[in-house]
Structure 1
């Protein structure tokens, strides 16, 4: 998966935006200043960190060799997905949706309303 493709998938989420708080080659995707994805642009193949339910995180790691515990993240709640083409695009999209929803669910009512009204 190329950078433009993963970026497009991540930005499809309502209220999402790109930020670079960790340097020029570490793209973070946020909603209301909360990170739901981190893309390491310098890696080839690309890697993306996504938030995950703990049981799902373990299951993904057992099913796919290219899913590993989240690099520099809480390994219970984050996975690093190596975008080498071994995971179906639909599964990657599901992982992105889950990450977004997990972060969205923790926002305040006011933050959620702001996103949903935009």
Structure 2
């Protein structure tokens, strides 16, 4: 997947917003909380996942490294060089989004359901 495909896929998720809170080249996707950071200038994406799965992913794909400027236990940064299959990228985006939704308080989850 490329930068635009990832952007389009993230925006299909319920309640997602996009913004540039850090700089002009890092696009951040939130569902109340941040679940995806997309580097527009370096073609990298950072996603949250289960710590054990992160270790496994890093062992299988050289393009997946510990999260850049993020909690390295919970976040991975993925170089968009074509070595990580599109179906896996979508799965990882889904999992990151799901982890954030799961962590929301009840009121936030209800707001999300009502969108």
Report the Cα offset of residue 42 of structure 1.
0.7
Instruction: Find the aligned partners of 2:85 and 2:72 in 1 and give their Cα distance.
Output: 23
Taking structure 1 as the reference length, what is the TM-score of the superposition?
A: 0.94
1:31 counterpart = 2:23: no
RMSD: 0.8
Instruction: Find the aligned partners of 2:30 and 2:70 in 1 and give their Cα distance.
Output: 16
- Cα deviation, 1:69-113, whole Å, max 9, x if unaligned, reads 000000000000111111110000010011001111110111111
Give the counterpart of 1:105 among 81, 102, 105: 102
- Cα deviation, 1:4-58, whole Å, max 9, x if unaligned, reads 11101111111011011101111000011x1000011111xx1000001000000
1:49 counterpart = 2:49: no
Taking structure 2 as the reference length, what is the TM-score of the superposition?
A: 0.97
How many corresponding residue pairs? 115
Runs of 4 or more consecutive aligned structure 1 residues displaced over 2 Å after TM superposition: none
Unaligned runs of 5+ in 2: none
Instruction: Find the aligned partners of 1:5 and 1:25 in 2 and give their Cα distance.
Output: 16
User: Counterpart of 1:9?
Assistant: 9
Instruction: Find the aligned partners of 1:56 and 1:19 in 2 and give their Cα distance.
Output: 28
